[in-house]
Structure 1
Amino acid sequence: MLVSNESQDTSTVLDKFKWVLVLVLIALIVWGNSYFSTPNDIYQPNTIVRIIAVVVISLLTLFIAFTTNKGKSFITFLQESRKELRKVVWPTRKEAVQTTLLIAVITVIVGTALWGMDSLFRSIIFYLTLIGR
């Protein structure tokens, strides 16, 4: 039991270190991209270098983040979500068009009804306020 607590503590400390490293790398990306940017000149050679550097450091950051306990849980979640998406029965094109048209018609009907009630209440309020004068 003592060994498992020590391994959990080590894992927690290592995860915290990895998350700090992830934050430092993100800060490095933001700072470096801002520091080495050139205003008004997109076609400078350093733009390509900046893009490559941002992509490489971002991939390294993602790799480090995915090696943490939360990252592994996230990858498992994505895999399970993909399995569930494969089980979904998607509507046919005909069903999708019919449903869309039905929703559009109902929206127009409800909108017209609300406009009619608003006009009626507005007329009533104007009539009542003119009588009070």
Structure 2
Amino acid sequence: MPTIHLLLAEHFKTPGVVMSAHATDASARAEAAELVNIMLKDSGSTGTADASTWERHLAPLQEEHGAAHCYVEITRLDVKAATAEGIEAPEATNDTLSAARRLSWLCAELYHGNAFSKENLWRWHEDAQAAIAKAEGRS
């Protein structure tokens, strides 16, 4: 089963959450180390984190700034292959039905925590925008 390594982080000085998906644990750990090194620098701390030590360097930062807004987490997600099986290709005469089917599938995938192709999402977004423009008489 394919695996995605999801990285979530927040810098104690910068509001907002950083989120990235990685195909390998090594890639996620490398980014985690980069983010921790930025926090170390901004905190005036010495030392440099690497892919194997970033968690050890993060702990004192969390004690100093609070873990609620100073964290880096990597979560491993096993995902099943996402396909649009059962969803018909857009029909030129029925864009609304096609868009509704795609939305239904997407909602089901999100509800069940499954991954899906960014390319499919973008293509579907563009198709939906074209259908909206057509319905509004802008095409």
TM-score, scaled to structure 2: 0.24
Select the structure that is richer in helix: 1
Task: Decide which structure has greater strand share.
Answer: 2
Structure 1 length-normalised TM: 0.25
Say which one has the larger Rg.
1
